[in-house]
Amino acid sequence: MIVSMTRRLLVFAGTVLAASAVIFGLLSVLPGDPAEVALGLGASPDELAAQRAEMGLDRPLAAQYLQWLGGLVQGDFGTSAVTGTPVGAELGSRLATTAVLIGSGMAVAVVVAVPLGVLAATHQRRPLGALLSGSSQVGIAIPGFLAGLLLITVFAVQLRWFPAGGWYRTGDGFGTLLGHLVLPALALGSVQGAVLARYVRSAVLDVMREDWMRTARAKGLSPARALRRHGLRNAAVPVLTVGGVQLGVMLIGAVVIERVFVINGLGSMLLERVATRDMIAVQGIVLVLVFAVLLINLVVDLVQTSVDPRLREAS
Amino acid sequence: MTGPQRTAPATAARRPNTGILVGGGLVALVVLAALVSLVWTPHDPLPVVAADRLLGPGDGYLLGTDPYGRDVLSLLMYGARISLLVGVVAVAVAVLIGVPVGVCAGMSGGRADQFLMRVNDVALAFPALLLAIVLGAVFGAGVGTAMIALGIGAAPSFARVSRSGTLQVMSQEYVTAARAAGRGRLFVAVRHVLPNISGLVIVQSSVAFAIAVLSEAALSYLGFGTVPPTPSWGRMLQESQSYLASAPHLVVWPGLAIALTVLGLNLFGDGLRDHLDPRMEAGR
């Protein structure tokens, strides 16, 4: 158990390191000189050379990478050449906003998916099951940002129940946060919920075919009780994996949703900094996003192993 | 998957199922719209007609006009072209990168396999949409960058699918027989592995195609897709956002086009999977 965990952590560290090298390499070879961005167009060649030396751009790429990596370990993401402010502080507050958004989205997805998937499985080959499966197929086909635009049209523009966009500011009450959160969380979560529901359905169907479920029924448990007592826990294992993958999908989906609802999260920061060609900041944001995806996968892996003892022996 | 084997007659299993028919029909409709748009659209989709801004359906425009006075139906037909182009190129790039990597890994085994799959895991950590935004920042936004980036982003999933398919084929006796008969690796790959994993790859292609259509829409919405004035469904949605109160139909039409295309591709892919492996039918 400890050996396999150590191995997973080492693989994780290696993957993160490789990903950071790819991100650094990709954004360093691009056309566009950060020193020029910092000084503006009117700078003389001498001024540019001095600025490049100050920013460490005259050193070999590998040395620059190691310096960047060394800073990262200490939580220093570097200083933006465009805004002149440290990247790390803004990353933190933006990430917090995005985390709230994704957390609520995931909650919506689970609330949608579990009942929908279980009912679709228990009512297989009946009209209700077909209807639920059909509606989750339609749900999957709707991109999150389209769901967002439709939600804004109905609930913000027509009914005026919720704001069409924006986020709460410090000092605003919890109600303001909730009001701003409802539509984006629904847009992000309902579509992912439709995807998740299909996996819940097929996991429950698989479980219902197991011999031990027949045994549970033979002991006199009703179908619903057998499912509650024995089935759902076992069906949760494959669903957990998909749920983890979806958390990563949502993180990227949030980039678009934040634009739709004008939310100052990590995604908006990425788009803003890409637009101003602030590559030091873009490097940091992309690294945080990729790191988060990898971390989610690791956690899912570890949780899955502890939930399902069979995987422990296999690894 | 331990259930009683379905013993349907072989002919019944070969008949296309509802998913293939309905999904294929929807996709065919989109392809038709794109093809017709090459030679004819109800109106010219590009020029701005200030006098005809934001007209409702009717009035000589079947689905109304957009904020620039352009015919929505013509824009939709033109947008179908962009969505299909991005989907086809992205899938082609993904297949060309992913399948050779997966087959190589599956056929070599051992350290080479482990190394390729580790690289694949690193690549999997870069979501296609993120890759497209970053590459758009590096090489300039546009449809070309978007479809290549989406293709590269989708390649690791093809590598995974091809590898597991290859492993299955390699354990078959006819492969052992071919190797024993002195057939080279390339012969085995082309003659035995590729034909046998083609079904898996086609199913994965329809999934990847659907994701590419969704991603292109999102990218165009964010301004990383088509460059104006080239219309696309995602760009139409972006332009509609300022008119949600006065002209909600501008969201509905491109939204419907995206949803029906993706629905068609997904139904087709699911149907094809069931068709190729009838035992899965009950499970999904």
pLDDT for residue B150: 95
pLDDT for residue A309: 66
CA distances from A197 to A148, A191, A200 (A): 20, 10, 5
| Tens of pLDDT, residues B67-98 | 777 888 888 999 999 999 999 999 999 999 99
- Record: contact A137-B267, CB cut-off 8 A: yes
Locate tokens 């592995």: which residue? B193
CA distances from B112 to A14, A250, B104, B168, B275 (A): 17, 33, 9, 18, 34
**In terms of Cα–Cα distance, which of A209, A185, A202 is closest to A239?**
A202
Which of B218, B244, B259 is closest, CB to CB, to A141? Answer: B259
Q: How many CA atoms lie within 13 A of B10 on its CB side?
A: 0
**In terms of Cα–Cα distance, which of B208, B1, B201, B181 is closest to B106?**
B201
| Tens of pLDDT, residues A123-167 | 888 888 888 888 888 888 999 999 999 999 888 888 888 887 777
- Record: contact B137-A30, CB cut-off 8 A: yes
Q: Where are the alpha helices (DSSP H) in B171-244?
A: 173-180, 185-188, 194-222, 233-240
Q: How confident is the model at residue B213 (pLDDT cuts 50, 70, 90)?
A: very high
Q: Say which residues have a Cβ less than 8 Å from residue A127's Cβ, sequence separation at least 6.
A: none
**By the CB < 8 Å criterion, does A288 face chain B?**
no
Taking contacts as CB-CB distances below 8 angstroms, the residues of chain A near B136 are 274
Q: What is the mean pLDDT of residues B257-276?
A: 91
pLDDT for residue B283: 40
Least confident stretch, A113-127, A138-152, A282-296, B52-66: B52-66
Q: Beta partners for A79?
A: A86
Tokens coding A174: 């919890």
Q: What does the buried/exposed string (b/e) look like for A172-193 if buried means 16 or more CB atoms within 10 Å of the residue's CB?
A: eeeeeeebbbbbbbbbbbbbbb
Q: Is a pLDDT exceeding 60 seen at residue B280? A: no
pLDDT for residue A34: 67
- Record: contact B255-A14, CB cut-off 8 A: no
More confident residue, A136 or A170: A136
Size of interface A-B (CB pairs under 8 A): 119
The nearest CA of chain A is from the CA of B203 a distance in Å of: 16
Most confident of A38-52, A93-107, B131-145, B235-249: A93-107
Q: Which amino acid is at A218?
A: A
The nearest CA of chain B is from the CA of A306 a distance in Å of: 22
| Tens of pLDDT, residues B116-157 | 988 998 888 888 999 999 888 878 788 899 999 999 999 999
Q: Which stretches of chain B sit within 8 Å of chain A by CB?
A: 1-3, 118, 121-122, 125-127, 129-130, 133-134, 136-139, 210, 214, 217-218, 221-222, 237, 240-241, 244-245, 248, 251, 255, 258-263, 266-267, 282-284
pLDDT for residue B167: 92
pLDDT for residue A313: 55
Q: What is the mean pLDDT of residues B193-199?
A: 91
Number of H helices, E strands in chain B: 11, 0
Search chain B and give the residue with CA nearest A287.
B126
* Maximum pairwise Cα distance, chain A: 87
Tokens coding A77: 């993401």
Q: Which of B130, B160, B274 should one mutate to test binding to chain A, selecting the residue with the greatest count of A CBs within 10 A?
A: B130
Tokens coding B272: 């094809």
Locate tokens 């990430």: which residue? A95
| Tens of pLDDT, residues B157-166 | 999 999 999 9
When the pLDDT of each residue in chain A is averaged and rounded to a whole number, the result is: 84
Q: Is residue A268 exposed (0-12), middle (13-18) or buried (19+ Cβ within 10 Å)?
A: buried
Q: Is a pLDDT exceeding 90 seen at residue B53? A: no
Q: Which of A146, A157, A257, A259 should one mutate to test binding to chain B, selecting the residue with the greatest count of B CBs within 10 A?
A: A146
Rounded to the nearest 10 degrees, how much is the dihedral formed by the CA atoms of A54, A60, A61, A65?
A: -70
**By the CB < 8 Å criterion, does A205 face chain B?**
yes
Interface of A with B in 15-34 (CB under 8 A): 15, 18-19, 22, 26-27, 30-31
Asked if A257 and A267 touch (Cβ cutoff 8 Å), the reply is: yes
Residue A262: how many other CB atoms lie within 10 Å: 14
Taking contacts as CB-CB distances below 8 angstroms, the residues of chain B near A198 are 284
Q: Is a pLDDT exceeding 50 seen at residue B1? A: no
| Tens of pLDDT, residues A1-12 | 678 788 888 989
More confident residue, A37 or A231: A231
When the pLDDT of each residue in chain B is averaged and rounded to a whole number, the result is: 85
| Tens of pLDDT, residues A74-101 | 888 888 877 888 888 889 989 999 999 9
Asked if A239 and A196 touch (Cβ cutoff 8 Å), the reply is: yes
- Record: contact B3-A19, CB cut-off 8 A: no
Q: Is a pLDDT exceeding 60 seen at residue A315? A: no
Which of B222, B251, B263 is closest, CB to CB, to A153? Answer: B251
Instruction: Please tell me the distance from the alpha carbon of residue A131 to that of residue A91, in angstroms, as a whole number.
Output: 43
pLDDT for residue A60: 79
What three-state secondary structure class fits A211? helix
